[in-house]
């Protein structure tokens, strides 16, 4: 799976497998097209993220990755995009509360990166994440899938 995203135009496209998994198993994410996803977080954001519903803010450099897949009627799994969000420094982009979003397609093609390649292609990310304003714009995994 990890090799499928190599070549994506975001540094995390090749490093997300080294992040800590904060979900116990894949779960269906309505905000990611009904795909199965897993949540992974880098070392910078891990302690803040593990506060889950009590997150007030995550440190600059916190990066979350969500590899995704679907399961067809034939039971065959099909790889979906790798969704990435990274907390940037103040002033990066007030429109996204300084989050940089990216989506890398299987095969390594970049669907979009905020303020870079096809930025408009990932604008929908923040449009959903505004509902997580109380948790620094993070949408958290359902409680039953969170690593304790």
Q: Where are the domains of the chain?
A: 2-143
Is CATH 3.50.70.20 the right assignment for the domain spanning 2-143?
A: yes
Q: What is the pLDDT of residue 70?
A: 95
Based on its alpha-carbon atoms, the radius of gyration of the chain, rounded to whole angstroms, reads 14
Say how many C-beta atoms besides its own lie within 10 A of residue 4's C-beta: 17
pLDDT tens, residue by residue, 101-144: 999 999 999 999 999 999 999 999 999 999 999 999 999 999 99
Say whether pLDDT at 9 is over 90.
no
Say whether pLDDT at 2 is over 90.
no
- pLDDT over 70 percentage in the chain: 100
Say whether pLDDT at 146 is over 80.
yes
Residues 142/42/33/139 CA torsion (nearest 10 deg): 40
């Amino acid at each position: 799976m990890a090799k499928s995203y190599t070549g994506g135009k975001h540094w995390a496209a090749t490093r997300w497998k080294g992040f800590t998994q904060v979900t116990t198993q894949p779960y269906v994410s309505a905000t990611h097209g009904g795909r199965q996803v897993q949540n992974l977080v880098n070392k910078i954001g891990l302690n803040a993220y593990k506060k889950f519903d009590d997150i007030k803010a995550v440190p600059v450099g916190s990066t979350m990755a969500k590899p995704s897949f679907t399961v067809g009627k034939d039971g065959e799994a099909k790889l979906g995009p790798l969704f990435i969000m990274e907390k940037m420094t103040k002033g990066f982009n007030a429109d996204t509360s300084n989050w940089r979003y990216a989506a890398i397609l299987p095969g390594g093609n970049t669907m979009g990166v905020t303020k870079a390649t096809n930025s408009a292609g990932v604008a929908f990310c923040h449009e959903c994440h505004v509902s997580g304003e109380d948790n620094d714009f993070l949408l958290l995994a359902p409680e039953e899938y969170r690593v304790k």
